[in-house]
């Protein structure tokens, strides 16, 4: 069995008049994330980690932010296509360990719904997805509530 590890990171600015999408679910918040797509930083970090683990470059290579077809796209579609890409090379997800950094909204109550949404899109068991939430103790752009960042590590396997 071949085992590979990948790491992903993403960040988007928080702005008014945008919906807040994280982990494939919509959260009620006065601001949302700015981006070409729905700007779901968690799903983008996971896509980058998966693509990196499979040595398939990054999310921007496969889904460029200057392509009209991806304007305002639901990042769950990008995640599903990323799974198709890695599976085309014979890889399957082992597990995901992800962390989202945000001062607000509080994310812990939403983690079960995020795991459920991601597992459904990826066609994997919810137990294969770990999502953690943290703040930056009011430090930096995250602490000032200017943006949200996410980190993801994945393990993929090939028989």
Unique residue bearing structure tokens 């068991």: 125
Assigned fold of 2-158 = 60s Ribosomal Protein L30; Chain: A; (3.30.1330)
| Sheet arrangement for strand 32-33 | 32-33, 2-15, 147-158, 92-101, 129-134
Amino acid 106: pLDDT: 95
Model pLDDT, residue 67: 86
Does the model's pTM come out above 0.85?
yes
Q: d(Cα 85, Cα 22) in Å, to the nearest integer?
A: 22
* pLDDT at residue 65, rounded to an integer: 87
Q: Which residues are annotated as a binding site for a divalent metal cation?
A: 10, 12, 44
Kindly report the three-state secondary structure assignment for every residue of the chain.
Answer: CEEEEEEEEEEEEEECCCCEEECCEEECCCCEECCCCCCCHHHHHHHHHHHHHCCCCCHHHHCCCCCHHHCCCCHHHHHHHHHHHHHHCCCEEEEEEEEEECCCCCCHHHHHHHHHHHHHHHCCCHHHEEEEEECCCCCHHHHCCCEEEEEEEEEEEEC
pLDDT at 133: 98
Known binding positions: 10-12, 36-37, 44, 58-60, 134-137, 141, 144
Mean pLDDT by 10 residues, the chain (159 residues): 97 97 97 96 98 97 90 96 98 98 96 98 98 96 97 97
Residue 15 near residue 34 (C-beta atoms within 8 A):
yes
């Amino acid at each position: 069995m071949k085992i590979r590890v990948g790491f992903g990171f993403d960040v988007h600015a928080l702005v008014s008049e945008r919906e807040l999408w994280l982990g494939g679910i919509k959260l009620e918040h006065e601001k949302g994330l700015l981006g070409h797509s729905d700007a779901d930083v968690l799903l983008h970090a996971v896509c980058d980690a998966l693509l990196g683990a499979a040595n398939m470059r990054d999310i921007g290579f496969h889904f460029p932010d200057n392509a009209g077809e991806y304007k305002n796209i639901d990042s769950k579609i990008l995640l599903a296509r990323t799974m198709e890409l890695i599976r085309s090379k014979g890889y399957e997800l082992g597990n995901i360990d992800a962390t989202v950094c945000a001062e607000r909204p509080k994310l812990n109550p939403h983690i079960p719904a995020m795991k459920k949404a991601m597992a459904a899109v990826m066609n994997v068991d919810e137990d294969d997805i770990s999502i953690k939430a943290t703040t930056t103790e009011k430090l930096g752009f995250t602490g000032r509530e200017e943006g949200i960042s996410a980190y993801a590590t994945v393990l993929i396997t090939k028989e």
